[in-house]
Amino acid sequence: MKTTRYVLALALCGLAVVAHAATPNLIPMPAQLMASGEGFTVSTQTPIVVDGDDADARRTAEYLASITARTRHLQLQVKTGVSENGAIVFKRDPQAPVASAEGYALDVTPQGIRIVARDEAGLFYGAVTAWQLLTPSQGTGDVRVDPVHIRDEPRFAWRGFMLDSVRHFQTTDEVRTLIDQMAQHKLNVLHWHLTDDQGWRIEIKRYPELTRIGAWRTPPTIGKQVVPKPYGGFYTQDDIRAIVAYAAERHITVVPEIDIPGHAQAAVASYPELGVTGKRPPVSPDWGVHPYLYNVDDHTIEFLHNVLDEVMALFPSTFIHLGGDEAVKDQWQASPAVQARMHALGIKKENTLQSWLIEQMGQYLGAHGRRLIGWDEILEGGLPPSATVMSWRGTQGAIDAAKQGHDVVLSPAPQLYLDQMQSDRVDETTGRLPSMSLESYYEFEAVPKALSEAQAKHVLGMQANMWTEHMPTLRHIEHAVFPRMDALAEAAWTPVKQRNWHQFLERMPAQLARYRAQDIAYADSAFAPFIELDRNAAIASGHATVAVANQAKYGNVHYTTDGSEPGASSPLYVRPFTVNVPATIKAVALADDGTPLAATRTRVLDLPSLRTRSTGELENCLGSDFRLRVQPSADATSMAPTYLINVFDACRVYRAARLDGIAAIRVEAATLPRNYQLAHDAKLVVAHKASTQQGELVVRLDGCKGKQLASLPLPADQPATFTLQGNMTKQTGTHDLCLVFTSPITGPIYGVGAVTLLPAGQVSP
């Protein structure tokens, strides 16, 4: 038996302790699985046999041999012949006991492992399951496979992952790395975001300026920084053909996105006549919602048709994504030419004009045997008859479209947005808040309850989106995507009745080992211990009562109090414990076999640390819930440091500050680029009145209109990082501190790295 064991700790906290019979460490969980009989040992002497002369089946068998060699260091030979005992056998059979082309049957008996499917896709997914059976835990060499009988096929036809290669550019090898992981998770659609305001990433031979100009931007700068080199890149048509073929070998369809009518600034920067104003803007270094739209004249329609011709030649996918999101209509409204075009077409509203333009492209795609898919904004002017809707602004767009008889894909923000942080931990890297946990991904249901049974048939599936504004490297992307891709995969593949969160957690240690074997930099946020205590009580009494937990409530948590590294022989966390200050607490969550589920976490308990709040521990002031965690450079190559900011209000709260004996405050800060386009939301940015030209950091008591305790002038030269320190008016008791930057909202954003309260004896002269 395997058990989920926070042991007494979970029971004492009122948390369920659930025991399950041993289940194969498979993700996603198959539709049907039964364990009976005796198992089979796979060794280097075990051949992989392709039953019959089937080139596709042989390619799949060779895939299994390759991935097993890389992750298990078990060398298996592929040969062609008839089924034989003592082998892993692949056989394509039109009478296979599964209903779909992606389905397969897999049986483990003393005679070997047998995989049967009607189509190559089913054989491939059977190979992925077989590989997981061969990697039940971290290890190398021979492996004993338990007896199992699987009949499996996916719940949804669209199991998607969207990669934004515009905001940050990934190399072709990095794209292949992500495709490999998609395949291992049985995902089958790579939605590739290739054009936007910040870059044009696809070579279009008829329009070379799109990549000569549109693929490169100048990163934002602050202060006296040297202007950096242009940032960007693009995929040649040969690159794209190779990636499409690579994905196809893994039964993944690549769906390209060419965004219209908005998110067009890089295209307009390349060919200004495509825009509304006729002026050439720069390729944007900013994130957010931009004003630049395509115009709707015949020349631009012809341009878009020509682009789609080359796109369709590169991508054989049935669907072509045409965006349609966040198209602010200000330029259309202000343009006499666009208004005249609307009048000629008998169109009275700009949203209807967008639908007309989208439908022109949809008809063009339809004439070439393709289908249009777009974000849910295409509903706003009346849904084009040819459209499929990808619903990102919640689920209502999918509900509305499905009720109108259109196919839909569920991809709502924030639930399935991978740039949402995985946790609220202070040691997280970049991303948006609120966080979307591993469990929240697992529990997402793609079929809205508002749909009838007939309407629900229009739900093609679900997709998670990896927007990369704040993910400049593959390591950032891997941290954001994994292991939430496991939860996505199971939600998209496995029948609802077969999904079980606690059992899923039991299967995760093996999956994390597979990631480590492939050097995938997954986030351990779900399993990393939180070390919690009442700081003010510890300051007052000299001792602290410490509680330890993790987000997933899974694993055996061990800890030390002397700064030594914890392990299986260290105390097992059962209930909160008390330590004298100072102390250094370290904690780690271990799987049942003693393998760490996450890196050890450390918390130093001394008076300076107890009086310090780091960036992730500071809260927003009242009035705005916007929270974003960023790095000092928009194109950072490291994972840290990070700063939690609110682009609408430069105000942070140090909650429950114990002020007895405090004489001063020290703030570690950074100067960050204000590279955000906010469109109509720009009016929501709060300006705080300054006393000097460059502004100050003002500290107030019990709210942003409270008594001023300190005013710390900001440096005029805007250095990348700096420290502010100054005396505070002495107070007693516990109060919230409001920290307000009064710098001009046309200048940089200031991020707070940490705030420390200083007693009189620790104030520097």
CA 748 to chain centre: 27
For strands 543-549 and 577-580, give the pairing. Answer: antiparallel
Contact 59, 90 (CB under 8 A): no
CA 453 to chain centre: 31
Closest CA to 624 of 686, 563, 671, 562: 686
Alpha-carbon distance 259 to 252, whole Å? 22
Could you tell me where the DSSP H helices lie in 528-665? 535-541, 607-610
Alpha-carbon distance 632 to 721, whole Å? 9
Torsion of CA 174, 180, 183, 187, to 10 degrees: -20
Could you tell me where the DSSP H helices lie in 484-584? 484-493, 501-517, 535-541
Q: Give whole-number Cα distances, 19 to 6, 505, 588, in Å.
A: 12, 12, 22
Alpha-carbon distance 693 to 670, whole Å? 18
- Beta-bridged to residue 235, according to DSSP, are 202
Q: Tell me, yes or no, if 263 is annotated catalytic.
A: yes
Kindly name the residue from 54, 326, 424, 617 that is annotated as catalytic: 326
Q: What is the DSSP string of 376-422?
A: GGGGTT---TTEEEEE-SSSHHHHHHHHTT--EEE--TTTTBTTB-S
Alpha-carbon distance 359 to 234, whole Å? 28
CB atoms within 10 A of CB 702: 12
Instruction: Enumerate long-range contacts of 403-407, CB under 8 Å, 24 or more apart.
Output: 403/451, 403/455, 405/458, 406/458, 407/458, 407/459, 407/460
Q: Tell me, yes or no, if 326 is annotated catalytic.
A: yes
Closest CA to 249 of 123, 351, 77: 123
Kindly name the residue from 196, 203, 478, 649 that is annotated as catalytic: 196
Closest CA to 153 of 109, 192, 104: 104
Alpha-carbon distance 370 to 360, whole Å? 13
Kindly name the residue from 263, 406, 476, 558 that is annotated as catalytic: 263
| DSSP three-state, residue 432 | strand
Q: Which helix (H) or strand (E) holds 9?
A: helix 8-12
Contact 494, 155 (CB under 8 A): yes
Q: Which two tokens stand for residue 483?
A: 């292991």
- Supply the angle between the helices 55-72 and 501-517 in degrees, to the nearest 10: 80
For strands 734-741 and 651-658, give the pairing. Answer: antiparallel
Contact 756, 664 (CB under 8 A): no
Residue 546 φ/ψ, nearest 5 degrees: -110, 130
Alpha-carbon distance 664 to 659, whole Å? 10
- Supply the angle between the helices 298-314 and 350-367 in degrees, to the nearest 10: 40
Residues 458, 459, 464: CA angle, nearest 5 degrees: 150
Contact 48, 65 (CB under 8 A): yes
| DSSP three-state, residue 504 | helix
Q: Give whole-number Cα distances, 401 to 268, 383, 398, 481, in Å.
A: 31, 8, 5, 28
Alpha-carbon distance 478 to 174, whole Å? 10
Can you give the C-alpha Rg of the chain in angstroms?
28
Could you tell me where the DSSP H helices lie in 494-592? 501-517, 535-541
Could you list the active site residues?
Answer: 196, 263, 326
